[in-house]
Amino acid sequence: MVKHMKAPIIAINYKAYYPYSFGKHAIRIAEAAIKVWEETGARIILAPPFTELRAIVKTVSDTPIKVFAQHADPIKPGAHTGFIPLEGLKDTGIHGVIINHSEHRLKLADINWLIHRAHEIDLEVLVCADVPETGAAAAVLAPDYVAVEPPELIGTGISVSKAKPEIITGSVNLIRRVNEKVTILTGAGISRGEDVEAAIKLGTSGVLVASAIVKSENPYHVIRDMAISGLRALQG
Amino acid sequence: MVKHMKAPIIAINYKAYYPYSFGKHAIRIAEAAIKVWEETGARIILAPPFTELRAIVKTVSDTPIKVFAQHADPIKPGAHTGFIPLEGLKDTGIHGVIINHSEHRLKLADINWLIHRAHEIDLEVLVCADVPETGAAAAVLAPDYVAVEPPELIGTGISVSKAKPEIITGSVNLIRRVNEKVTILTGAGISRGEDVEAAIKLGTSGVLVASAIVKSENPYHVIRDMAISGLRALQG
Amino acid sequence: MVKHMKAPIIAINYKAYYPYSFGKHAIRIAEAAIKVWEETGARIILAPPFTELRAIVKTVSDTPIKVFAQHADPIKPGAHTGFIPLEGLKDTGIHGVIINHSEHRLKLADINWLIHRAHEIDLEVLVCADVPETGAAAAVLAPDYVAVEPPELIGTGISVSKAKPEIITGSVNLIRRVNEKVTILTGAGISRGEDVEAAIKLGTSGVLVASAIVKSENPYHVIRDMAISGLRALQG
Amino acid sequence: MVKHMKAPIIAINYKAYYPYSFGKHAIRIAEAAIKVWEETGARIILAPPFTELRAIVKTVSDTPIKVFAQHADPIKPGAHTGFIPLEGLKDTGIHGVIINHSEHRLKLADINWLIHRAHEIDLEVLVCADVPETGAAAAVLAPDYVAVEPPELIGTGISVSKAKPEIITGSVNLIRRVNEKVTILTGAGISRGEDVEAAIKLGTSGVLVASAIVKSENPYHVIRDMAISGLRALQG
């Protein structure tokens, strides 16, 4: 493994593609991530569906790759059929949770509650937001990561870093006014290394990416391209 | 009418009590509010149910009393059965909307969307929040008012200003770090003039109150007591 | 007014079009409905937004035209900010409620609760359903009307009675197996008299219609065309 | 294993108790179920949280014990962060899904959609309902099981079969009018063998049970008591 002072963050949201996000397909993506981490030192986060959390945690257990749930329900453990409290997610061995994704928006009060409760049990929290303003509002609540993703570009292959660079610079500016520490990511339409490079040059620490990796015939190549481009941007 | 340089804000949330919040009962509260305004100059906001908006707007039309909707749906005008867009609410003659009440929480992205859209069509926005942190997060989005109300005290008659003064001072501190202009209110368990007085002394501009007025046998007396105590706090 | 043994039902869902569904526009549609009723005896139901209920009730007060709310919240009166209980809707003078429209779907348990509660306070209930099977499931709960509307045709101008007549005949068959009394309506894409005529010939008592009337330059002409065609189908 | 012509159904809803519903605790309940099945031939269904589905499927793989998810999201596979489509659940090896539990109610249209889609991919569906009427409405949609559970008794330890036997007989009557084949279960407050015995004598095929087993110090004893009492009722 090549060590880097700084390395780009690549957070991979598996979403709910079938069969890509499930079973052996889910593990194959994790194995590709391990290989890229070994070669580049990229900081990778994997967010598979709830059903795959234990298998992915096991797959990456000897690496610094982190596993996040895609969502967390704002409930305490108890009589909640079909919901999973943070304690139950933590029990799978994961390191954190994504919350408030544009496909799973949460109420403001619940975002706050989840951040507090997650931190109490040593889980990291990555909050998604749709525009710089809501990114800053989320940042006030002191999560570990904020990822600003314009919903209109999600899944389009048109990357935010090219199509709307002002969303990224605006996010960095607004978020930094209220929170100096939170790690800032961006996403939506990220599909190539150059999108990651642009995102980092605009002031983020990395990207949140989904279909470009999860539905790829060769996830290893895509993750590697993104990792190398991200490193280049950080060193440049 | 007595004029005051500064006057306390008393925002009256009618909620959905029956029969108190509806019909002639709703109008009776508005008439009590007019009388108190005439006598004290208090800044009063009335938030009746959707069905009563036009009648209450008509009742207070010759006064500076404002009428707010209790909620707004995050939709554009169109094919939305059983929902009302901001444009439709505006059409009733109201001045603003309450959003994100603890009994009607909204998603973070929708709070932001509603604030922007409301301002475009000249409606004010009062955002409720459950704790100082979410109050500050909401304040980042630049609404006109933020009201912090601990849900556990709502409807109890145990006032936030007595039971949890630190919620109020904490809210003022956190909110002012991110927004210098927003009007800060508080609420939950407000039932007497002394609760209003305490709330104002702790740094707010007034209160959000519901059952203590709406279900009262004599709304005029309760509103008047709150207005006079609020004035005393502002002048003291 | 011409009296008819049987008359077609034309239920007009105002939805939330702006400005059409609000204020003077909303009243103009009610006045057109009155004129058509006077000329044809058609059984008309008007479903304006919550904010317009009192004005429309007043407009049609001397006629058998019924006013329905577009939705009802499954709550008892009380501390529910931004929601309206059935008792509050009833207070406006309305005759019934539409529930479970495809743009405002409800949980099965709530549909049942609302039907029972509405009947206790003498409000009629019109339940919408998307396919014959859910129409029959709803009919088991003994509402007054069931309207089957394939969502994919709503707002298209392609009428269910022409494009999917099997939905209508299937609905009538399935619903009649479990409920002999409920009034069966259909909707989606209804825009002309001939659509109403076809719907009635296929076994329904009438239609649920929205944009074709509400956004029309001449609502009177459209309602009249539908009423006359419906009468023809019933007499033919 | 003792073979029985007929055997009672014991469906165990793990809910989201911590630590009981997760990890080794979840497996321990499955092992207890296997032992009871070996001894009594009871037909057992296990419904653990999403995160535990694969482990429980593996644990019971050599037995006729069925594994169900506690809920299913009404979505097709695709870009749905934090949701799981039926295809993804099926991929874990489960046999069916519980839907519309009182702690996770669904819209009527979604219940219908899920039943159809589940059957297309060979998953069974157990629909919960709160009262006999909604049980019958659900039965119209042709699921495999309907479980009527009065929400006010869930988690109380006061069993429906003792406190409200009329709910059970009423459910059986209403459901059989519209569906001759669906398997009828009941639940709420079931905590002992005698509750199961009563439920079966009142006309059901078994029970849906949660905390009495999941939070028990000795799940084996509780399941065994229920299985034996259920067998006695069937043979008596």
Is the distance from CB of A101 to CB of D81 less than 8 angstroms? Answer: yes
Which residue is it, tokens 């937004």? C49
Cβ-Cβ contacts under 8 Å, C17 against chain B: 77-79
pLDDT of A8 strictly over 70: yes
Q: Looking at the whole model, is its pTM more than 0.90?
A: yes
Contact (CB<8Å) B83/C103: yes
Contact (CB<8Å) B85/C155: no
Print burial letters for A84-112: b (CB count within 10 Å at least 16), e (below 16).
bbbbbbbbbebbbbbbbbbbbbbbbbbbb
Nearest partner of D54 among A50, A44, C219, A141, judged by Cα:
A50
Quickly count: other Cβ atoms within 10 Å of residue A5's Cβ. 7
Residue C236 to chain B, least CA–CA distance (Å):
34
Which residues make Cβ contacts (< 8 Å) with residue C104, sequence separation at least 6?
Answer: B80, B81, B82, B83, C70, C71
Q: Once rounded to an integer, what is the mean pLDDT over residues B88-101?
A: 98
Cβ-Cβ contacts under 8 Å, B112 against chain A: 130-131, 133-134, 137
Which residues make Cβ contacts (< 8 Å) with residue D221, sequence separation at least 6?
Answer: none
Q: Once rounded to an integer, what is the mean pLDDT over residues D144-149?
A: 96
Catalytic residues of D: 101, 149
Q: Which chains touch C (3 or more CB pairs under 8 A)?
A: B, D
pLDDT of B4 strictly over 80: no
D102, D110, D136: residue with CB nearest C140 = D136
Residue C135 to chain D, least CA–CA distance (Å):
9
Cβ-Cβ contacts under 8 Å, B141 against chain A: 133-134, 137
Contact (CB<8Å) D134/C109: yes
**Using 50, 70 and 90 to split pLDDT, how confident is the model at D2?**
very low
pLDDT of C77 strictly over 50: yes
Cβ-Cβ contacts under 8 Å, C136 against chain D: 140
Contact (CB<8Å) C108/D102: no
C1 lies in some domain? no
- Tell the burial category of C135 from Cβ atoms under 10 Å away from its Cβ (0-12, 13-18, 19+): buried
Contact (CB<8Å) C79/B17: yes
Q: Which chains touch B (3 or more CB pairs under 8 A)?
A: A, C
**Using 50, 70 and 90 to split pLDDT, how confident is the model at A2?**
very low
Q: What pLDDT score was predicted for residue D150?
A: 87
Q: What's the Cα-to-Cα distance from A51 to each of A120, C45, D55, D89, rounded to whole Å?
A: 24, 49, 10, 8
Nearest partner of A52 among C55, D88, B177, judged by Cα:
D88
B15, B79, B83: residue with CB nearest C155 = B79
**Using 50, 70 and 90 to split pLDDT, how confident is the model at D5?**
low
Cβ-Cβ contacts under 8 Å, B88 against chain C: 16, 18, 21-22, 49, 51
Residue C11 to chain D, least CA–CA distance (Å):
22
Decide if B38 is catalytic: no
As a whole number of angstroms, the distance between CA A145 and CA A124 comes to: 8
**Using 50, 70 and 90 to split pLDDT, how confident is the model at D1?**
very low
> For residue A47, what are the β-bridge partners?
A13
D3 lies in some domain? no
CATH code (residue A185): 3.20.20.70
Q: Once rounded to an integer, what is the mean pLDDT over residues C150-164?
A: 86
Print burial letters for D71-91: b (CB count within 10 Å at least 16), e (below 16).
bbbbbebebbbbbbbbbbbbb
Contact pairs from chain A to chain D, CB under 8 Å:
143
Q: What pLDDT score was predicted for residue D184?
A: 97
Contact (CB<8Å) C85/B16: yes
Q: What pLDDT score was predicted for residue C5?
A: 53
Is the distance from CB of A97 to CB of A114 less than 8 angstroms? Answer: yes
Which residues make Cβ contacts (< 8 Å) with residue B199, sequence separation at least 6?
Answer: B159, B160, B161, B168, B185, B186, B190, B206, B207
**Using 50, 70 and 90 to split pLDDT, how confident is the model at C4?**
very low
Quickly count: other Cβ atoms within 10 Å of residue B177's Cβ. 14
D116 lies in some domain? yes
Segment D20-69, tens digit of pLDDT:
999 999 999 999 999 999 999 999 999 999 999 999 999 999 999 999 99
pLDDT of C184 strictly over 90: yes
Is the distance from CB of C104 to CB of C123 less than 8 angstroms? Answer: no
Contact pairs from chain B to chain C, CB under 8 Å:
142
Chains D and B make contact, 3+ CB pairs within 8 Å: no
Structural domain boundaries, residue C126: 9-235
Reduced to 3 states (helix: H, G, I; strand: E, B; else coil), residue A107 is strand
Structure tokens at A107: 């109420």
pLDDT of C24 strictly over 70: yes
CA closest to D105 among chain C residues: C107
CA closest to A98 among chain D residues: D82
Nearest partner of B129 among B85, B187, B173, B212, judged by Cα:
B187
D1 lies in some domain? no
Is the distance from CB of A101 to CB of A134 less than 8 angstroms? Answer: no
Chains D and A make contact, 3+ CB pairs within 8 Å: yes
Q: What pLDDT score was predicted for residue B3?
A: 47
Name the residue with higher pLDDT: C181 or A155: C181
Contact (CB<8Å) D85/A55: no
C107, C109, C137: residue with CB nearest D141 = C137
> For residue D125, what are the β-bridge partners?
D97
CA closest to D149 among chain C residues: C109
B4 lies in some domain? no
Strand D124-129 versus strand D145-148 pairing type: parallel
Q: What pLDDT score was predicted for residue C34?
A: 98
As a whole number of angstroms, the distance between CA D88 and CA D81 comes to: 13
Segment D158-182, tens digit of pLDDT:
888 888 899 999 999 999 999 999 9
* Rounded to 5°, angle at Cα C127 from C125 and C130: 175
Contact (CB<8Å) D141/C134: yes
D22, D155, D210: residue with CB nearest A88 = D22
Residue A132 to chain B, least CA–CA distance (Å):
10
Q: What pLDDT score was predicted for residue A5?
A: 52
Residues of D with CB under 8 A from a CB of C: 100, 102, 105-112, 129-131, 133-134, 136-138, 140-142, 174, 177-178
CA B32 to chain centre: 16
Number of domains in chain C: 1
A49, A81, A103: residue with CB nearest D104 = A81
- Amino acid (1-letter code) at residue C71: H
**Using 50, 70 and 90 to split pLDDT, how confident is the model at D3?**
very low
Q: Which runs of consecutive H residues, i.e. helices, occur in chain A?
A: 23-40, 53-59, 86-90, 108-120, 132-140, 160-163, 165-178, 193-201, 211-214, 219-235
Segment B169-221, tens digit of pLDDT:
999 999 999 999 999 999 989 999 999 999 999 999 999 999 999 999 999 99
* Rounded to 5°, angle at Cα A125 from A62 and A158: 90
Of B101-115, D5-19, D39-53, D110-124, the one with minimum mean pLDDT is D5-19
Residue C3 to chain B, least CA–CA distance (Å):
32
Q: What pLDDT score was predicted for residue B1?
A: 42
Helix-helix angle D108-120:C132-140, to 10 degrees: 130
Name the residue with higher pLDDT: A105 or D6: A105
DSSP-derived secondary structure for B137-184? HHHHT--SEEEE--GGGTTTS--HHHH-HHHHHHHHHHHHHH-SS-EE
Residues of A with CB under 8 A from a CB of D: 13, 15-19, 21-23, 49-51, 53-55, 69-71, 75, 77-85, 87-89, 91-92, 98, 101-104, 154-155, 210-211
Q: Once rounded to an integer, what is the mean pLDDT over residues B111-119?
A: 98
Active-site residue, selected from the candidate residues C52, C101, C124, C197: C101
Name the residue with higher pLDDT: A236 or C59: C59
As a whole number of angstroms, the distance between CA C31 and CA C28 comes to: 5
Q: What pLDDT score was predicted for residue C85?
A: 98
Segment A152-174, tens digit of pLDDT:
888 888 888 888 899 999 999 99
Residue A47 to chain D, least CA–CA distance (Å):
9
pLDDT of A4 strictly over 90: no
Residue D225 to chain C, least CA–CA distance (Å):
32
Most D CBs within 10 Å: which of C125, C140, C173, as the mutation test of the D interface? C140
Q: Once rounded to an integer, what is the mean pLDDT over residues D197-226?
A: 96
Q: Once rounded to an integer, what is the mean pLDDT over residues A93-99?
A: 98
As a whole number of angstroms, the distance between CA A68 and CA B215 comes to: 48
B123 lies in some domain? yes
Cβ-Cβ contacts under 8 Å, C178 against chain D: 140, 177-178
Could you give the dihedral angle defined by the CA atoms of residues C30, C32, C38 and C44, in that order, rounded to the nearest 10 degrees? -50
A1 lies in some domain? no
As a whole number of angstroms, the distance between CA C3 and CA D7 comes to: 63
Backbone dihedral region for residue C82 (phi beyond 0: left; psi -120 to 50: alpha; all else: beta): left
Which residues make Cβ contacts (< 8 Å) with residue A38, sequence separation at least 6?
Answer: A1
D139 lies in some domain? yes
Cβ-Cβ contacts under 8 Å, D18 against chain A: 77, 85, 87-88, 91
As a whole number of angstroms, the distance between CA D128 and CA D29 comes to: 22
Contact (CB<8Å) C109/D105: yes
Segment B30-78, tens digit of pLDDT:
999 999 999 999 999 999 999 999 999 999 999 999 999 999 999 999 9
Decide if C149 is catalytic: yes
ipTM of the modeled complex = 0.94
C18, C85, C104: residue with CB nearest B18 = C85
